[in-house]
Structure 1
Amino acid sequence: MSTYSVRSGDTLSAIAQRYHTTVGALAQANGIKNPNLILAGQKLTVPGGGSAPSAGAGSYTVRSGDTLSGIAQRHGTTVSALAQANGIRNPDFIQVGQKLSIPGKGGASAPSAPASGGSYTVRSGDTLSGIAQRYGTTVSALAQANGISNPNLIQVGQKLRVPAGDHYQPAPSKPSTGGAGPVTGPGNEPGSKGGVSLAQLRRIMPNLSQAKAEQYLPHVNRAMAEAGINTPKRQAAFLAQLAHESGEFRYMEEIASGAAYEGRRDLGNTQPGDGVRFKGRGPIQLTGRSNYRAAGQALGIDLENNPKRAADPDVGFRTAAWFWNSRNLNQYADAGNFREVTRRINGGYNGLASREAYYQRALDVLG
């Protein structure tokens, strides 16, 4: 037997594969009831004592449970380098049995940041957040400078204007209007904070992969800015609840079919098929026709006729912010009353220990 110290971004399945064992064996050896919940710094006993593969160039066959970020970490390279070497456009989409070429340690080197702005041509595997990080700017600044409405949609070969890092100020968010539970908030009140960083998000949610964090972070920050979730206390409470409710952004749609909600007039499900049509979606699950209608009116999106949009990150995090403000949760977060935040989201205190653990970690990370 050997031991392993969990690092940020690790999953139990990736560790099992790395040491040529199984998730079941690891879970049993360490008394883990939920294989999806391991914490950075946790010491694991590894049955069998296999050794991890060495870093460097070569090939790798994707196995069940793999993520591109996990493979990159395992082989001492980066997600961008792996994606570029294998022509992968979407780092979140790899298939079991797919053969990957592993570039040499560290992969392709990133270009140096221009001192006063410049241009960049998008390559396979790039993300806007990765490019922003590389050039010392922000996703919002890049999006604004290039007229990009959806930060997740950039094209290989697209030419981007790169604003000068610290001197470029992104435009303020446009407030939403109308409907119950407005998502607009006092974004410029004294002491308000900006969004969280990629590193902070992954420290709060240690099982969130690098690729997923890069994909979701712009939408999380935009939703928090809209909703006035702009202080460490508010952000910690919001992110802690989202982490628990969605399994660290693993679930953006309810696993069940939604048939159990059929005929639920309290949810506004009055038409045949409404249960399945308006099943839970988003990191705080929006459920029922009436809630889809109300959230859609507040956000200016026709969710009643396009309910699946609620599972998309550009909408799902905004519906979570709408829900948050519809229950005046900023005031309870300001008071440090996390139990009341939980009660108003859950209707009770289910999973309170898990929520509180995320909350304490988030407070530690965000200060």
Structure 2
Amino acid sequence: MPDGFDAPNRPGAANPATSSDRFEARSYTVQPGDTLSGIAGRYGSSVGAIAQANGISNPNLIQVGQRLNIPGASGPSAPATGSRSYTVQPGDTLSGIAGRYGTSVGAIAQANGISNPNLIQVGQRLNIPGASGPSAPAPAPASRSYTVQPGDTLSGIAARYGTSVGAIAQANGISNPNFIQVGQRLSIPGGSAPSTPSGPVTGPGPVRGPSEPGTAGGVSVQQLRAIMPNLSEARANELLPHLNSAMAEAGINTPRRQAAFLAQLAHESGQFRYMEEIASGAAYEGRADLGNTQPGDGVRFKGRGPIQLTGRANYRAAGRALGIDLENNPTRAADPDVGFRTAAWYWNNRNLNSYADAGNFDAITYRVNGGYNGKASRDAYYARALQVLGG
């Protein structure tokens, strides 16, 4: 796995569109940022129909430049009507802008030379090709103020106020979004009322979960065990409050996000059987790329947590982001109240919610694993989780 995250030593039909007989097939070339579901939506077809017509076995994996036959296409829902101009506001995302103007992330990125669709700047002027006019041209709300509490992360604050990490970082001159200080006063641009008015999560002690499993937007014991059938009911009841709390903190709060997150964790941890790497960690000794510069660092900072945190530098970064001194207390990363939070930190640090929202599970697998090891297992968990959670 990249960036010092290593897994334990374990092996890693849709129906065609019913209206396809009413329209002739069309041809479409995949653009950067496209998803099969987005293409299907634009052309009034279905993911299953397009996948079947093009022999695609994994609808989450399409290639830029790939030529697709679109059966049952009624024509794109937002035909090009000339470009419009738009200035990025606090809290904006490229996918949100594309949705408002009836175009695609790939089209906007291509028109503006954007290599990373997840990185746009407040005040940036965008050319919107094929724009049909904004569906909800509401002005950005006024800024709010927030004081950082113990256990806060910038991603958690952003999720609570309905804005983005980038917008808050830019508004407050924060160069490292993973490093904020307790007591720091933040301006929250474009912030709505907080979605969870309860008090902040406290750490490094035990983290309170929801009042009962499955509440506050989390998953239930029954759902968790349906996704991970080898997980005992007693173990599920023990872990669930910490899992739900971490997901809430990180904005993993929709069925698609939760399904993707739980599928990766199920594979990485063997259905929560492994919260610490089986090997001793001696193989990491002297790994400067992991920050292991002191004698004994390899064993001391071995992989821990459901997505395994590995190396002194990663323990330090996660600890700073979560307000927990993991560098001096590394075994805490194997405890459920901390381990699920480090997994959620890793998830948000790589912006994996955006890929979950787009249904691009293969991209998540690559960013978690550094490749596609255990792909069949991960995909099976994901399909089951989507079915259980209704994603």
Q: Name the TM-score, length of structure 2 as normaliser.
A: 0.47
The corresponding residue for 1:273 is 296
The corresponding residue for 2:272 is 249
The corresponding residue for 1:219 is 242
The corresponding residue for 2:254 is 231
Q: Percent identity at matched positions?
A: 75
Give yes or no for the alignment of 1:198 onto 2:198: no
| Distance in 2 (alpha carbons) for counterparts of 1:288 and 1:273 | 11
The corresponding residue for 2:306 is 283
CA contact (8 A) 1:242 1:283 kept: yes
The corresponding residue for 2:283 is 260
Code of the aligned partner of 2:372: Y
CA contact (8 A) 1:227 1:322 kept: yes
The corresponding residue for 1:297 is 320
CA contact (8 A) 1:183 1:298 kept: no
User: Which secondary structure state, in structure 2, belongs to the residue aligned with residue 186 of structure 1?
Assistant: helix
Displacement of 1:186 after TM fit? 1.5
Can you list the C-alpha shifts for 1:105-134, whole angstroms capped at 9, x where unaligned? xxxxxxxxxxxxxxxxxxxxxxxxxxxxxx
User: Which secondary structure state, in structure 1, belongs to the residue aligned with residue 260 of structure 2?
Assistant: helix
The corresponding residue for 1:186 is 159
| Distance in 2 (alpha carbons) for counterparts of 1:352 and 1:285 | 18
| Distance in 2 (alpha carbons) for counterparts of 1:218 and 1:266 | 34
| Distance in 1 (alpha carbons) for counterparts of 2:375 and 2:160 | 29
| Distance in 2 (alpha carbons) for counterparts of 1:297 and 1:257 | 25
Can you list the C-alpha shifts for 1:265-298, whole angstroms capped at 9, x where unaligned? 1100000000000000000000000000000001
Where has structure 1 moved over 6 Å in runs of 4 or more? 190-193
Q: Name the TM-score, length of structure 1 as normaliser.
A: 0.50
Displacement of 1:183 after TM fit? 4.6
User: Which secondary structure state, in structure 2, belongs to the residue aligned with residue 252 of structure 1?
Assistant: coil
Aligned residues: 195
| Distance in 2 (alpha carbons) for counterparts of 1:182 and 1:302 | 19
Displacement of 1:182 after TM fit? 4.3
Can you list the C-alpha shifts for 1:291-334, whole angstroms capped at 9, x where unaligned? 00000001100000000000000000000000000000000000
Give yes or no for the alignment of 1:349 onto 2:372: yes
The corresponding residue for 2:339 is 316
Displacement of 1:175 after TM fit? 7.7
Can you list the C-alpha shifts for 1:127-166, whole angstroms capped at 9, x where unaligned? xxxxxxxxxxxxxxxxxxxxxxxxxxxxxxxxxxxxxxxx
| Distance in 2 (alpha carbons) for counterparts of 1:195 and 1:174 | 22
Distance 1:325 1:253, change over 3 A: same
| Distance in 1 (alpha carbons) for counterparts of 2:358 and 2:149 | 28
Code of the aligned partner of 1:293: R
User: Which secondary structure state, in structure 2, belongs to the residue aligned with residue 229 of structure 1?
Assistant: coil
Could you list the runs of 5+ residues in structure 2 that have no partner in the other structure?
A: 1-9, 12-147, 163-191, 197-215
CA contact (8 A) 1:252 1:282 kept: yes
CA contact (8 A) 2:242 2:337 kept: yes
| Distance in 2 (alpha carbons) for counterparts of 1:185 and 1:240 | 24
Can you list the C-alpha shifts for 1:208-235, whole angstroms capped at 9, x where unaligned? 0011000000000000000000000000
Code of the aligned partner of 1:327: R
CA contact (8 A) 1:185 1:227 kept: no
The corresponding residue for 2:348 is 325
| Distance in 1 (alpha carbons) for counterparts of 2:158 and 2:221 | 23
The corresponding residue for 1:21 is none
